[in-house]
Amino acid sequence: MPRVHQNIPLRTVTATRYVTPFREGGSLPGLVEADDLGMYVLKFRGAGQGIKALVAEIVVGELARRLGFRVPEIVLVDLDPALAKAEPDEEIQDLLDASGGLNLGFDYLPGSFDFNPRVRDPGAELAARLLWLDTLTLNVDRSWRNPNMLLWHREVWLIDHGASLYFHHRWGPGWQPADEYRYDAADHVLLPAAGSVVEADRALRPLVLPALDEVLTLVPDEFLAADPAFDAPADVRAAYRAFFARRVERADAWVRALEDTRAARV
Ligand SMILES: Nc1ncnc2c1ncn2[C@@H]1O[C@H](COP(=O)(O)OP(=O)(O)OP(=O)(O)O)[C@@H](O)[C@H]1O
Ligand SMILES: [Mg+2]
């Protein structure tokens, strides 16, 4: 599996052209061209999901990459709202107006389409590993209805991690990670294809915390400073780390629950 962009900060590019909206995306992502001539799927800081969704995209996307999954390159995109001048759609005008400054971009995979495990078997190991990752990160956005995986050059690419780490919408001063979190794997698109989650756990669990320290440094301070629950970006990073440390520490329990769900299904 590829290990690209490791140990390198996220690149920052400047948007030069707003090309078109992705109508299927709940957060109204847009396709933009940037000054490096790359095309990016832009997730706007001013979207209804808020900046925490962008933090979740970086933390989970970059963690996934370091655990061996394919994830489109993530870049920071500097946006001048004036780019929207030619845009006739008012909703998009408003979104760009609310999104001056740093946004998040994903390398656009041209010619990719939604991955459907009924059409192409992802393989028992990849399926189990992804089920494990989504449970670790509490990602509920990998259902049949909304698989958030793209097939590109015959490989599975992961997208859309903005709804994971949902606890950060509820945290406040004095927050502590819980011993258990609700996660319903029954709806996961890869549950029927998954092999042993115990094996996935054995392979991936030791990699999480070392990778996470690096991943948390990739999140811009500016995104974290916007969090009213904490005084400083370092405190927010410590809180994310505490979540993962507890989640890893408690993994035996949720891995067992995953295996039970898998056994009930097959
Ligand atoms: N890197 C990419 N390359 C090509 N197409 C992409 C890429 N990222 C996203 N897309 C397309 O854009 C759509 C919306 O992206 P994404 O799921 O990340 O946005 P979202 O607003 O969180 O959507 P939703 O909440 O509806 O799942 C995807 O379903 C996919 O078709
Ligand atoms: Mg999506």
The protein residue with its alpha carbon nearest to ligand 1, atom 14, reads: 25
Is 165 a residue whose pLDDT tops 60? Answer: yes
Residue 20 C-alpha to ligand 2 middle, in angstroms?
17
Is 118 a residue whose pLDDT tops 90? Answer: no
> In Å, how far from its chain's centre is CA 118?
23
Residue 148 C-alpha to ligand 2 middle, in angstroms?
5
Question: Measured between alpha carbons, how far is residue 266 from residues 131, 174, 231, 258, 262 in Å?
Answer: 15, 42, 48, 12, 6
Q: What is the predicted pLDDT for the residue at 6?
A: 57
Q: Token digits for 237?
A: 């990073």
**Ligand 1, pocket-test mutation among 24, 109, 189, most atoms within 8 A of CB:** 24
Q: What is the predicted pLDDT for the residue at 7?
A: 64
Q: What is the mean pLDDT of the chain?
A: 94
Quote the DSSP letter at residue 155.
E
Is 1 a residue whose pLDDT tops 60? Answer: no
- Residues 25 and 36: their CA atoms lie apart, in Å, by 25
195-202 mean pLDDT = 98
Q: Which atom of ligand 1 is nearest to the CA of 22?
A: 12
Residue 145 C-alpha to ligand 1 middle, in angstroms?
13
Residue 76 C-alpha to ligand 1 middle, in angstroms?
17
**Ligand 1, pocket-test mutation among 141, 150, 159, most atoms within 8 A of CB:** 159
Ligand 1 contact via 136 beta carbon (within 6 Å): no
Is 3 a residue whose pLDDT tops 70? Answer: no
Q: Token digits for 57?
A: 């995209």
Question: Measured between alpha carbons, how far is residue 161 from residues 9, 30, 146, 266 in Å?
Answer: 19, 16, 12, 27
Q: Token digits for 161?
A: 């991690």
Q: What is the predicted pLDDT for the residue at 247?
A: 98
Ligand 1 contact via 68 beta carbon (within 6 Å): no
The pTM assigned to this predicted structure is 0.96
Ligand 1 contact via 41 beta carbon (within 6 Å): yes
Comparing C-alpha atoms, which of 29, 56, 218 is closest to residue 137?
Answer: 56
Which ligand has the shortest distance to the CA of 105? Answer: 1
Percent share of the chain, pLDDT over 70 = 97
Ligand 1 contact via 148 beta carbon (within 6 Å): yes
pLDDT tens-digit profile of 54-80?
999 999 999 999 999 999 999 999 999
Q: Which atom of ligand 1 is nearest to the CA of 29?
A: 21
